[in-house]
């Protein structure tokens, strides 16, 4: 009997480790923050869908042309050699996340995260087809019927069309979208275009249509490490327990003070509008994405009850506890300073970026060679990179000693986005060498654009001539 009881307890404990997901039906609410969130979603989705259609001269304004190894961003063209700019952009993204999280909490999650925005779009389509929260619950609990199948099929058809258009727009950043449109209409897409269109479409359909809050709760790492950027002065969405407790239902005309109640009427509207299904009254939770829906709906209820607003509000933990809040604190200045420095650095780097680069590599087989006619020879390899959108012919010169450049050709032609390596020999009369190592300078100048010039230094090695 004891063994059986022990086994039963183990089963109960094992079952408690996992709970079957219950579908969340967020109630729609209209307020300042939810309207701001909707505006943010419309703007960001508009940018995502419209940006590939903007032309810049004779090409697409934003195009990541992988086969040609060219990455066009309006008037700028980047090459694989500019990959470090991508690293700097990732650093900027990380620093921005740290800065805004420390300052305003999960602002990114609530108002700008693609998962949040696309989930809101799917929720809007779901309400359009199935109705409000009550009608959705009633439909899901209803037995299978032709009406239910028709409504569900209509919803999923809209979801799939939206997902396919999203996948199409995504691929349009890598394949010219007008060519991609013709390929779709003629069923003439390449294998990779087809794969990424379907992959991205199914990812949107699955994440925004089916997984929803589970992506934020279980899959997104940000929900787990955000607490490292929070302190008592970070802006959060919080329930004022001092005002709200003890909670309880009451009539509008009643005096809740005489009833020993707080201002929370326990209507659970804050739970019903939450897209992750949490109760904000239980305190700050990692599932909260700071969408502010609970703030707007609670203010509506407070208005109806003639109570002061902001029972649930944007605030800080210090302010809730009556401690002065310091929004501008050292970590904010540190993040802002580093972010500003990196932004200035990347801006300066792009503004002063040279469209030609050269590396001078010495021949490692021999330090120098003495020719029969009494000259000292050094051999170099010039590795020239043309980062411009057109080919150039470069004149090569060298200076630093009285020397002669003996290359197969003093002109080097480089195609756009190409790298070529050419051998260059420098010869110096041995009497002109005053020391064993002398600095020389190579200079490359484009024939069609004298401003397109670059210099690179190298060492010329030779024996020291003893003068008598």
Q: Is 200 within 8 Å of 171 (Cβ atoms)?
A: yes
> DSSP of 404-423, one letter per residue?
EEEES-SEEEE-TT-EEEEE
Q: Tell me how far apart the alpha carbons of residues 438 and 463 are, in angstroms, rounded to a whole number.
A: 11
pLDDT exceeds 70 at position 406: no
pLDDT exceeds 50 at position 195: yes
pLDDT tens-digit series, residues 199-251: 999 999 999 999 999 999 999 988 878 878 888 999 999 999 999 999 998 88
- Report the pLDDT value the prediction gives residue 389, as an integer from 0 to 100: 83
Task: State mean pLDDT over 357-371.
Answer: 88
Span of 79-88, 298-307, 369-378, 459-468 with lowest mean pLDDT:
459-468
Confidence bin at 391 (pLDDT 50/70/90): very high
Containing H/E element for 62?
strand 62-65
- Report the pLDDT value the prediction gives residue 4, as an integer from 0 to 100: 44
Contacts of 371 (CB under 8 A, 6+ apart): 377, 427
Confidence bin at 19 (pLDDT 50/70/90): low
Q: Tell me how far apart the alpha carbons of residues 410 and 428 are, in angstroms, rounded to a whole number.
A: 17
pLDDT exceeds 90 at position 411: no
State the greatest distance between any 2 C-alpha atoms of the chain, in Å, as a whole number. 116
pLDDT exceeds 60 at position 2: no
Provide the strand spans (E) within 242-373: 312-315, 356-362, 369-370
Q: Which of 71-80, 142-151, 421-430 has the highest mean pLDDT?
A: 142-151
Task: State mean pLDDT over 297-310.
Answer: 95
Q: Tell me how far apart the alpha carbons of residues 10 and 255 are, in angstroms, rounded to a whole number.
A: 49
Confidence bin at 132 (pLDDT 50/70/90): very high
Among residues 130, 113, 69, 50, the alpha carbon closest in space to that of 419 is found at 69
- Report the pLDDT value the prediction gives residue 405, as an integer from 0 to 100: 60
Q: Where are the alpha helices (DSSP H) in 51-132?
A: 83-104, 107-111, 114-130
**Whole-Å CA distances, 434 to 12, 60, 399, 427:** 90, 57, 15, 15
Task: State mean pLDDT over 135-164.
Answer: 97
pLDDT exceeds 60 at position 160: yes
Long-range contacts for 400-406 (Cβ within 8 Å, ≥24 apart)?
Answer: 400/438, 400/439, 400/440, 400/441, 400/460, 401/428, 401/432, 401/433, 401/438, 401/440, 401/460, 402/428, 402/429, 402/432, 403/427, 403/428, 403/432, 403/440, 403/460, 404/428
Q: Tell me how far apart the alpha carbons of residues 245 and 247 are, in angstroms, rounded to a whole number.
A: 5
pLDDT tens-digit series, residues 426-455: 888 888 787 888 899 999 999 998 889 999
pLDDT tens-digit series, residues 251-280: 887 777 778 899 999 999 999 999 999 999
Task: State mean pLDDT over 360-384.
Answer: 88
Chain-wide mean pLDDT for the chain? Answer: 89
**Bond into 318 cis (ω within 30):** no
Set out the domains of the chain in order of their start, with CATH numbers: 22-353 (no CATH), 356-461 (2.60.40.10)
- Report the pLDDT value the prediction gives residue 467, as an integer from 0 to 100: 53
Q: Tell me how far apart the alpha carbons of residues 254 and 63 are, in angstroms, rounded to a whole number.
A: 64
Task: State mean pLDDT over 412-429.
Answer: 88
Task: State mean pLDDT over 59-74.
Answer: 92
pLDDT exceeds 80 at position 9: no
pLDDT exceeds 80 at position 466: no
**Whole-Å CA distances, 61 to 58, 293, 313:** 9, 37, 42
Q: Tell me how far apart the alpha carbons of residues 363 and 385 are, in angstroms, rounded to a whole number.
A: 19
Q: Is 325 within 8 Å of 318 (Cβ atoms)?
A: yes
Span of 51-65, 109-123, 157-171, 373-387 with lowest mean pLDDT:
373-387
Place of tokens 């607490």: 227
Q: Tell me how far apart the alpha carbons of residues 275 and 24 are, in angstroms, rounded to a whole number.
A: 7
pLDDT exceeds 50 at position 1: no
Place of tokens 């090569």: 396
Task: State mean pLDDT over 286-290.
Answer: 92
Task: State mean pLDDT over 53-67.
Answer: 93
Pair of tokens at residue 76: 């700028």
- The pTM of the full predicted model, rounded to 2 decimals, is 0.85
């Amino acid at each position: 009997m004891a063994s059986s009881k022990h086994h039963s307890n183990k089963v109960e404990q094992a079952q408690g480790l996992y709970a079957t997901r219950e579908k969340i039906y967020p109630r729609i609410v209209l307020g300042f923050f939810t309207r701001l969130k909707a505006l943010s979603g419309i703007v960001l989705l508009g940018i995502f869908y419209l940006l590939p259609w903007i032309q810049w001269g004779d090409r697409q304004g934003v195009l990541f042309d992988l086969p040609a190894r060219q990455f066009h961003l309006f008037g700028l063209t980047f090459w694989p050699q500019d990959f470090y700019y991508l690293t700097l952009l990732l650093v900027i993204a990380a620093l921005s996340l740290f800065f805004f999280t420390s300052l305003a909490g999960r602002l990114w999650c609530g108002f700008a995260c693609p998962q949040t925005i696309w989930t809101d779009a799917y929720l809007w389509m779901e309400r359009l087809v199935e109705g409000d929260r009550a009608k959705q619950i009633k439909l899901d609990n209803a037995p299978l019927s032709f009406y239910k199948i028709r409504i569900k099929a209509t919803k999923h058809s809209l979801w799939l069309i939206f997902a396919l258009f999203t996948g199409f727009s995504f691929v349009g950043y890598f394949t010219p979208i007008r060519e991609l449109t013709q390929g779709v209409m003629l069923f003439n897409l390449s294998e990779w275009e087809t794969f990424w269109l379907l992959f991205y479409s199914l990812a949107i359909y699955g994440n925004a249509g089916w997984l929803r809050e589970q992506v934020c709760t279980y899959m997104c790492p940000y929900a787990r490490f955000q607490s490292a950027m929070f302190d008592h002065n970070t802006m959060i969405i919080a329930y004022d327990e001092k005002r709200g407790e003890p909670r309880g239902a009451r009539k509008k005309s009643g005096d809740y003070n005489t009833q020993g109640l707080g201002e929370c009427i326990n209507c659970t509207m804050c739970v019903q509008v939450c897209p992750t299904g949490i109760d904000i009254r239980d305190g700050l939770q990692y599932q909260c994405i700071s969408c502010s829906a609970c703030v707007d709906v609670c203010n509506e209820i407070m208005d109806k009850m003639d109570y002061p607003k902001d029972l649930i509000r944007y605030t800080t933990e210090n302010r809730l506890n009556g401690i002065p809040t310091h929004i501008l604190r050292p970590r904010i200045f540190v993040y802002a300073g580093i972010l500003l420095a990196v932004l200035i650095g990347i801006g300066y780097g792009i503004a002063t970026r040279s469209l030609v680069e050269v590396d001078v590599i010495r021949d490692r087989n021999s330090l120098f060679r003495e020719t029969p006619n009494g000259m000292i020879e050094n051999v170099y390899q010039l590795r020239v990179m043309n980062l411009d959108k057109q080919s150039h012919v470069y004149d090569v010169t060298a200076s630093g000693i009285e020397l002669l450049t003996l290359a197969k050709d003093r002109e080097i032609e480089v195609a756009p986005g190409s790298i070529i390596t050419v051998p260059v020999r420098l010869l110096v009369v041995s009497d002109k060498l005053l020391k064993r190592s002398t600095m020389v300078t190579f200079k490359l100048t484009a024939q069609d654009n004298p401003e397109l010039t670059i210099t690179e230094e190298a060492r010329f090695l030779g024996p020291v001539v003893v003068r008598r």
